[in-house]
Amino acid sequence: VSFNAIDSALSSLKNCQSYINSGMDVATQVALDLVESFNDEEDVNNMEKVMLEYATMDRELNHYIKAFEETINQVKQEKPENLPDLENLAQEKFLEMESMNSDSDLQKNEKYMHFKDQLKEMKKQCKSDNDTIEQIDEDLAVTRSQMNFICPITQVTMKRPVRNKVCGHIYEEDAILEMIQTRKQKKKKVRCPKMGCSHVDVKGSDLVPDEILKRLIDSQKKQ
């Protein structure tokens, strides 16, 4: 097996990862739809099983990619006279990594954690809507919601809200990413634009889509 063939195979595997990510995004949306339309808990649980299956595939792919990358680097550093069987070497490393797997690894998958977080929020939102629909004055409820819809950067209603995992504040996706990019070019950090927040280093990797808030905003527009 040549280095070029391995590079090509690794590139294909990394493309597969993007399909897994897309699948997890779709599964999250379906689960949120199920909760929102008060479907059976069993249906929602089935979507969680799908997410765990995706997380398992993602972990396996990560191990496979890592095993081959480590093997190539090792051989390039050692420069042996006779090129060893790269496939066998990589397979040994892969099996070693797989032998250390545990269920807790899957629970730490970022997409799965986001899924659980959004599911919890949606359940809370649906329960809250159900419990308080007759108790809260509608105008007050609308005003309170709309205040949460405004981006602290643009000062207009958000279209694609993202939440900062570090401080919990929410911004319009394009606005915060543009701010990060502009400051990065000047080699400066971005302070959270939410007034009063002490977080001084907002990173793109800390931002996750807030599906629940997006649904609330879309619902408000329809009304």
- For 18-74, the pLDDT digits (tens) are 899 899 989 998 998 888 787 778 888 899 999 999 999 999 999 999 998 898 888
Domain edges within the chain = 3-129, 161-221
Q: What is the model's pLDDT at position 41?
A: 84
Superfamily of domain 161-221: Zinc/RING finger domain, C3HC4 (zinc finger) (3.30.40.10)
What is the amino acid identity at position 117? D
What is the amino acid identity at position 114? H
Q: What is the model's pLDDT at position 2?
A: 64
The mean of the pLDDT values for the chain is 84
Range 151-167 average pLDDT: 92
Output the pTM of the full model: 0.62
Q: Which two tokens stand for residue 206?
A: 């800390």
Confidence of residue 136 (pLDDT cuts 50, 70, 90): very low
Of residues 147 and 212, the one with the higher pLDDT is 212
Strand order in the sheet with 170-172: 170-172, 161-164, 207-209
